[in-house]
Amino acid sequence: MDVKTIVRQLVPLMGGKDNIHSAIHCATRLRVVLEDDTLLDLNAIDEIKGVKASFRKSGQVQVAFSSSIINDVYDEFINYTQINEVSNKQSASRESTKNLGYFKRIANTLSKIFIPLIPAIIASGLLMGLLSLIKNYGWLSTSHPIYILLGMFSSAAFIILPVLIGFNAAKVFGGNPYIGATLGGILVHPSLANIWGGVGHHYQTLDLYGFQVAMIGYQGTVFPILLTVWFMSYLEKFLKRIVPEMVEVIFVPVITLIISGFVSILLIGPAGRMLGDGIAFSLTTLIDHTGWFAGMLFGGLYSVIAMTGIQNSFHAIEAGLLSNPHIGVNYLLPIWSMANVAQGGACLAVWFRTRNHKIRKIAIPATFSAMIGSVEAAVFGVNLRFVKPFVAGMAGGAAGGAWVVYNKVYATGVGLTGIPGLAIIQASSLVNQLIGLAISFGIAFFISLAFKYDKES
């Protein structure tokens, strides 16, 4: 596919080079911030060969392409528009965030912190799934060296999760990422009892001038390090304003580390643990008491939530569920899988029922993308155009969500949904997950199939 032709057709439909403020991209979408949105022609952009869908979202114009060409499209877009790529990414992020509400800003920040960590957490989740199979089917003894080593490999990302989050969070909050990682290291220091390892009941208590400090570690936790690094970034910026430049490199890091370290151990750490445990307890209690109804509610509404981009912030909650020694599983991800696959089923039905050649061309690859967990093309490119398929997808997601909660389907990781998500579903839950996917897809498909789609809503 000729990306030069695509870009030269695309730019004028966005108001020309002078109207383009900045641009970034993700796995499938070119995300552009414009000076004047009134010059945008989304309908014409949809007609460009190679474009799967286009829409406004999060203060940006987002144009979906195949994952195989998105990098080339972005490179050509930057080259053709002559945007400075170094300052461009920061500017695009600031401009898109500026147009968001307070809650969505928080969600957007959490997304930036957690999305780069997903490969490590996925790898750990896949290994946990493998260990589950080995144990359930007796392939190896739990005392076998291979099983023990794989257990180490699978838990490593969660044990050092505060270090990984600390590094990334500091970059997002504007602090020194290495100090952020060091603060994460403090929270998982060997001197602190390892909750993840199950020995957290045996710990020392330090008497700090009458203040009792429980020497309990924060392995696998999320919110303590997030709040600590947020505090650290403001402290570091304040110190840089008051410390003379000639000694800044010496005093700013050490003062930042000492103050942030004490604050994290004495105040923020315990408060952050309570916050994370409170969220996990609330969700668990809700599902325990309402059962399949909670699954139906979450599965039905997830597609609406995904339209806002907030769903990426759920990774923080899911990681907290996995790292909580009293929970240790992710019961949310199977529900999200139901919602995504259901939108794929509704999208496929549109392919059967529409005579619009552009929509038919988009629908098949969009269905496939939804089946592997990426629903933007199906939702924005097809289903929301006609509304009824989107609602059908919500119905399918609700039915599948109710099924997986009722049958206690659990995942061992985060990040993978749809068909690839089967790899991190507990072995004992695999059949019920497959049944749930079939229910979600089938209900959404047949409801959507009942209508014709010749005119957009």
Pairwise CA distance, residues 29 & 149, whole Å: 39
* Degrees to nearest 5, angle at CA 215 with 204 and 222: 150
Residue among 74, 61, 59, 60 at smallest CA distance from 27:
74
For residue 259, what are its two tokens? 């103050």
Alpha carbon of residue 149 to chain centroid: 28
Residue among 223, 224, 232, 227 at smallest CA distance from 178:
232
Pairwise CA distance, residues 319 & 220, whole Å: 8
Of the residues 26, 255, 263, 391, only one is catalytic, namely: 26
Pairwise CA distance, residues 76 & 6, whole Å: 9
Chain position carrying tokens 């020309």 = 16
For residue 413, what are its two tokens? 């990781």
Residue among 212, 260, 219 at smallest CA distance from 124:
219
Pairwise CA distance, residues 280 & 286, whole Å: 10
What DSSP string describes 254-289? HHHHHHHHHHIIIIIHHHHHHHHHHHHHHHHHHHHH
What DSSP string describes 135-202? HHTTSS-TTSHHHHHHHHHHHHHHHTHHHHHHHHHHHHHTS-HHHHHHHHHHHT-TTSB-TTTT-TTS
Residue among 310, 312, 256, 299 at smallest CA distance from 393:
299
With a CB cutoff of 8 Å and minimum separation 6, the contacts of 72 are 3
Respond yes or no: is residue 347 known to be catalytic. Answer: no
Phi-psi region for residue 455, left (φ > 0), alpha (ψ -120 to 50) or beta?
Answer: beta
Active-site positions read 26
